[in-house]
Amino acid sequence: MNFNEVLDQRRLLPLYTVKDLEECLAVGKCLVEGNLPIIEVAFRSDYAAEGIKALSSIDGLLVGAGTVKTTAQAQQAIESGAAFLVTPGLSAEVVEYAKEQNVPIVAGAVTPSEIMQANQLGLTCLKFFPADVYGGISALKALHGPFFESTFVPTGGVTLENYKEYLALNYVKAVGGSFILPKELLKAKDWQGLSSFIKGL
């Protein structure tokens, strides 16, 4: 399945920061077992590129890079095997690079001006980050009026308690975040628990 197909099917995008390569492989396998075969590896640790490489060895798992802020990071991510990119804000340079490389990109845009710029760059699926700070569901409802062609991936402050409210909006393509991989289960290395938790989402 490609990026769009996985997102359309599960509407969840787990965000993960690699701190330990062994843990990252276990997490990747739990996602496949939990029937959510996708992971966004954040460029927030020194292990991001290595993590993307390691995770790409897991059969059936779609591995992408998140928190991509520069073209250099985008290049490193793609060379390591990233099949999609997620950027917290909007960089025309990074978007153009991803397009040249034929790699799907979800770029951040939260204001009308940013959404217009992103649309002009050819993007219609946008990251809405940090969702809770920028008005959450009521902001998305207001933005959907003029930007009815766009779909959004809210992240940042999306939780187990509120994610279904976001998903009730049909222009929310998926929700993203770290809540999909709970810290307690990772800390306890409870891989069976993690797979069942993911399956139950």
Q: Which residues are catalytic?
A: 40, 127
Structure letter (DSSP) for residue 162: T
Residue 136 within binding range of ligand 3PG, rule CB under 6 A: no
Residue 135 has which token pair? Answer: 């008005």
The residue to which tokens 């992240």 are assigned: 155
Shortest Cβ distance from residue 183 to ligand 3PG (Å)? 10
How far apart are CB 59 and ligand 3PG at their closest, in Å? 26
The owner of tokens 């917290």 is 88
87 touches ligand 3PG by CB under 6 A: no
Window contacting ligand 3PG (CB under 6 A); options: 31-39, 118-126, 163-171, 177-185: 177-185
Q: Which of residues 14-43 bind ligand 3PG (CB under 6 A)?
A: 15
Closest contact distance (angstroms) between CB of 124 and ligand 3PG is 19
> C-alpha dihedral over 55, 56, 57, 60, to 10 degrees?
100
Which residues are within 8 A (CB) of 67 and not within 5 positions of it... i.e. 6 or more apart? 42, 43, 44, 86, 87, 88
Task: Identify the CA nearest to 52 among candidates 60, 69, 44, 40.
Answer: 40
Question: Tokens 């998305």 appear where?
Answer: 140
Considering only 172, 177, 185, 194, the residue that binds ligand 3PG (CB under 6 A) is 177
Q: Does 152 bind ligand 3PG (CB under 6 A)?
A: no
- Distance CA(154)–CA(149), nearest Å, equals 16
Choosing from 178, 181, 186, 194, the residue that interacts with ligand 3PG (CB under 6 A) is 178
- Let me know: does 154 contact 176? Beta carbons within 8 Å: yes
Pick 151 or 155: Cβ nearer ligand 3PG: 155
Q: Report if residue 153 touches ligand 3PG, rule: CB under 6 A.
A: no
User: Closer CB to ligand 3PG, residue 37 or residue 66?
Assistant: 66
CA distance 158 to 178: 8
The site for ligand 3PG (CB under 6 A) is made up of 15, 66-67, 88, 129, 155-158, 176-179
